[in-house]
Chains A and B, each alone.
Chain A
Amino acid sequence: MNQTIDTTTAGGSDPRPAGRAASEPRRWRLADYPSLLTVPAILLLIAAMAYPLLTIVLRSFSEPEWSLQNYVWFFSTPVNLTVLARTFSISAWVTIVCVIAAYPYAYLMTTVGPRMRLVLIMCVLVPFWVSGVVRTLAWVILLQDSGVINSTLKAIGFSSIRLIRTQTGVVIGMAQVLLPFMILPLYSVMRGIDLRLVQAARSLGARPALAFLQVYLPLSLPGVFAGAIIVFILSLGFYITPALLGGPRSTMLSTLVQSQVLSLLNWGRGGTMGVVLLVSTFVLLAVAAPLMRQRHKQASRS
């Protein structure tokens, strides 16, 4: 890595005899220390992430007094555990819905011409420009009992279904908000897959479906994993959508945190919930990591 970034010839990593470099006083150059360029980002992360996080962890142990009281409370209160489990299951559903919806979309993006591709990318990105609250309110209009979906169902002779204030409604709303985070990494991986590999598989005797399953799908998995992890983790901490679209039976952990911290001013318990969520996420990532490690390099179209 160093070699490629280092543009000076007499750099510190130069393997040649260092006679000249040693006798001359070396001028200090930024190019010799590329890692210095990350300092602003690191400072920002410390200020915006590390410090608050540390505070929260401390307060979960220290309020109202130093002990494990908050954790004992968390794990001995059934509703907390139910909500924690629900948070994970809703996130898992959102991830599954996103994968199913994003995969064909991202694939389409790789096959169409440049103009159509631009249109498709815009369709993904436009929702980013609209605030999450507005988008969620749009879903309220669509999903409510007298909303567009139910009146359409009734008009064509079906009975209406409950969507608003159900888990289904929450999953639908969250999946829509998070879809771009699935589509974009998937697209970037799929764009790198050489479609001629599928042609090669066909020439070797694979039916189109088999060629897809055995060649294209495995090569696209890194994108699926990357997108799934982003979507899943973002889902875990979702607040607005479950709060507006959900009911008491679809409360997620973030809503509990909110009521502990803002309504009950109990920073200790709120912090505890945050820490539990954080730790379980890390455990999950650690379990998923070996799945994603692949020995082969990404196929390229070169």
Chain B
Amino acid sequence: MSTSKTRERGAAIDIRDATKRYGKFTALDNVSLHIEPGEFMTLLGPSGSGKTTTLNVVAGFTDLTAGDLSVGGESIVGVPAHKRNIGVVFQHYALFPHMTVGKNVAYPLTLRGVEKGERERRVKAALDMVKMADFAHRYPSELSGGQQQRVALARAIVFDPPLLLMDEPLGALDKKLREWLQLEIKRIHRELGTTFVYVTHDQEEALVLSDRIAVFNQGRIEQIGTGRQLYDEPATLFVGKFIGESTTLRGKAETSGDETGLTIAGQKIVAKEKLAGGETPVILLRPEKLSLAAAKAPITNGQNSLAGQVSEAIYLGSGSKYQVVLRDGSIAVVRSSLEAKPFTIGDEVDLRWSVEDSKLLADDDRADMTLT
């Protein structure tokens, strides 16, 4: 199958100004999301941020309070779940316990009146795709969690839906199995060309799998972008803190020209950015952009420096990771390469980074929600 051909099998999704309220509680707040045909889109966010609600709205299990939803260019608001032709994989597998694996996978085909020969061929093909063909005669209770989830995946793709929704499908599995199944899911996505919408609260999983990631927080989308965009150019403090490791610095701010200066415990640092106004600036730093130098070592031009003390030093094989307590009590996370000079706990150090690497963001107390 050529790429252009397989891409045609995926459907575009358009969610516009979707709002879902439960009584006074707003589970989805004006969410808009466009997903390209054949794209792997991950909905990422902490618990209770509205990921499952979004998926349920697309699947047809939940009605929107307001807004529009279209799949493949046609609005499907009000279309019942069983007429949507969308594959769904649940975290809890949801295999029918009274049917064998083969019957489970054949179920959507039986409902569609596919005749026996064709049905058996497609069940076999779907089970082959998830490498479960030898288990067709088993009952779900006779399979491990990972095997059950692969069968559930086969059942959701066997009727060739143009869109596949997955709600934390690997959430109940151990790390090794999860990592292996992530690669399997990626392969299946490539082979099918179906549009995948994947829910997780594991940012690493999101980075491994996705073409693009939509970061949810409190019923809203904070940012949509590739993993790299979210990591390098977070739009909000929440996104910056949720994706990857980071250090946030707060202090007395002053703007001059295009630069913003922050004074932290008497030391001044700068960022080559400024905020629209009215907002309290915060500087976000990525651990690999930071380096450590012995206290009071000479500074090269264009570098920021903050004094601190090493409170944790971890050898990682490929390099080292440090925690540094700064003068104002905040903690910085630093990753250094093997070549860098090693430090030990208690060392007085200077935290150094290039002025360009200071990412200036608006402070936001919603970003300090518990991160999972």
Which residues of A come within 8 Å of B, CB atoms? 194, 196-197, 199-208, 210-211, 214-215, 218-219, 294-299, 302
Residue of A nearest to B105 (CB): A204
Residues of chain A with a CB closer than 8 A to B60's CB: 202-203
Determine if B141 and A206 form an interchain contact, defined as CB atoms under 8 angstroms apart: no
Q: Interface stretch among B82-90, B215-223, B300-308, B325-333?
A: B82-90
| Contact sample, A vs B, 16 pairs, CB 8 Å cutoff | A194-B92, A199-B61, A199-B81, A200-B88, A200-B90, A202-B80, A202-B81, A203-B156, A204-B82, A204-B156, A204-B159, A205-B108, A205-B111, A207-B82, A215-B96, A294-B98
Q: Which of A196, A208, A214, A295 is within 8 Å of B94, CB to CB?
A: A196
Q: Which of B85, B94, B98, B111 is within 8 Å of A194, CB to CB?
A: B94
* Residues of B64-91 contacting chain A, CB below 8 A: 80-88, 90
Residue of A nearest to B172 (CB): A302
Residues of chain B with a CB closer than 8 A to A296's CB: 97-98, 139-141
Question: What is the distance, in angstroms, from A299's C-beta to the closest C-beta of chain B?
Answer: 4
B155 within 8 A of A: yes
Residues A204 and B141 in contact in the complex (CB < 8 Å), given A196-B94, A215-B96, A294-B98? no
Determine if B97 and A201 form an interchain contact, defined as CB atoms under 8 angstroms apart: no
Q: Which of B98, B140, B155 is within 8 Å of A219, CB to CB?
A: B98
Q: Which of B92, B111, B140 is within 8 Å of A204, CB to CB?
A: B111
Residue of A nearest to B86 (CB): A203
Q: Which of A196, A215, A298 is within 8 Å of B90, CB to CB?
A: A196
B112 within 8 A of A: yes
Question: What is the distance, in angstroms, from B164's C-beta to the closest C-beta of chain A?
Answer: 10
B107 within 8 A of A: yes
B59 within 8 A of A: yes
Question: What is the distance, in angstroms, from A202's C-beta to the closest C-beta of chain B?
Answer: 4
Cα distance A205–B111 when bound, in Å? 6
Residues of chain A with a CB closer than 8 A to B112's CB: 205
Question: What is the distance, in angstroms, from A186's C-beta to the closest C-beta of chain B?
Answer: 17
Highest count of chain A CB atoms <10 Å: which of B82, B90, B107, B155: B82
Residues of chain B with a CB closer than 8 A to A294's CB: 98
Cα distance A206–B90 when bound, in Å? 17
Determine if A201 and B96 form an interchain contact, defined as CB atoms under 8 angstroms apart: yes
Residues of chain A with a CB closer than 8 A to B90's CB: 196, 200
Highest count of chain B CB atoms <10 Å: which of A201, A204, A214, A294: A204
Tell me the total A-B contact number using a CB cutoff of 8 A: 72
Cα distance A140–B139 when bound, in Å? 51
Residue of A nearest to B92 (CB): A196
Determine if B98 and A204 form an interchain contact, defined as CB atoms under 8 angstroms apart: no
Cα distance A196–B86 when bound, in Å? 16
Determine if A208 and B92 form an interchain contact, defined as CB atoms under 8 angstroms apart: no
Residues of chain A with a CB closer than 8 A to B155's CB: 204
> Chain B contact residues (Cβ within 8 angstroms of A): what range?
20 to 34
The 0/1 profile, CB within 8 Å of A marked 1, for residues 107-144 of chain B is 11001100000000000000000000000000111000
Determine if B94 and A197 form an interchain contact, defined as CB atoms under 8 angstroms apart: yes
The 0/1 profile, CB within 8 Å of A marked 1, for residues 7-37 of chain B is 0000000000000000000000000000000
Determine if B94 and A202 form an interchain contact, defined as CB atoms under 8 angstroms apart: no
Residues of chain A with a CB closer than 8 A to B85's CB: 205
Question: What is the distance, in angstroms, from A293's C-beta to the closest C-beta of chain B?
Answer: 13
Question: What is the distance, in angstroms, from A203's C-beta to the closest C-beta of chain B?
Answer: 4
Residues A205 and B82 in contact in the complex (CB < 8 Å), given A210-B111, A295-B139? yes
Question: What is the distance, in angstroms, from A13's C-beta to the closest C-beta of chain B?
Answer: 25
Cα distance A50–B159 when bound, in Å? 59
Cα distance A199–B91 when bound, in Å? 13
Residues of chain A with a CB closer than 8 A to B94's CB: 194, 196-197, 199-200
Determine if A203 and B98 form an interchain contact, defined as CB atoms under 8 angstroms apart: no
Question: What is the distance, in angstroms, from A291's C-beta to the closest C-beta of chain B?
Answer: 14
Residues of chain A with a CB closer than 8 A to B159's CB: 204-205
Question: What is the distance, in angstroms, from B157's C-beta to the closest C-beta of chain A?
Answer: 11
* Residues of B38-73 contacting chain A, CB below 8 A: 59-61
Cα distance A200–B148 when bound, in Å? 14
Residues of chain A with a CB closer than 8 A to B97's CB: 197, 219, 296-299
Cα distance A297–B107 when bound, in Å? 19
Residue of A nearest to B91 (CB): A196
Cα distance A205–B156 when bound, in Å? 11
Highest count of chain B CB atoms <10 Å: which of A194, A196, A203, A215: A203
Residues A297 and B141 in contact in the complex (CB < 8 Å), given A201-B107, A205-B82? yes
Q: Which of B82, B98, B140 is within 8 Å of A208, CB to CB?
A: B82
Determine if B92 and A203 form an interchain contact, defined as CB atoms under 8 angstroms apart: no
Question: What is the distance, in angstroms, from B249's C-beta to the closest C-beta of chain A?
Answer: 44
Question: What is the distance, in angstroms, from A259's C-beta to the closest C-beta of chain B?
Answer: 47
Q: Which of A197, A206, A208 is within 8 Å of B111, CB to CB?
A: A206
Residues of chain A with a CB closer than 8 A to B80's CB: 202, 208
Residues of chain A with a CB closer than 8 A to B108's CB: 204-205
Residue of B nearest to A200 (CB): B94
Residue of A nearest to B108 (CB): A204
Residues of chain A with a CB closer than 8 A to B59's CB: 203
Determine if B92 and A206 form an interchain contact, defined as CB atoms under 8 angstroms apart: no
Residues of chain A with a CB closer than 8 A to B84's CB: 203
Cα distance A259–B60 when bound, in Å? 64
Determine if B96 and A203 form an interchain contact, defined as CB atoms under 8 angstroms apart: no
Residues of chain B with a CB closer than 8 A to A299's CB: 97
Question: What is the distance, in angstroms, from B109's C-beta to the closest C-beta of chain A?
Answer: 9
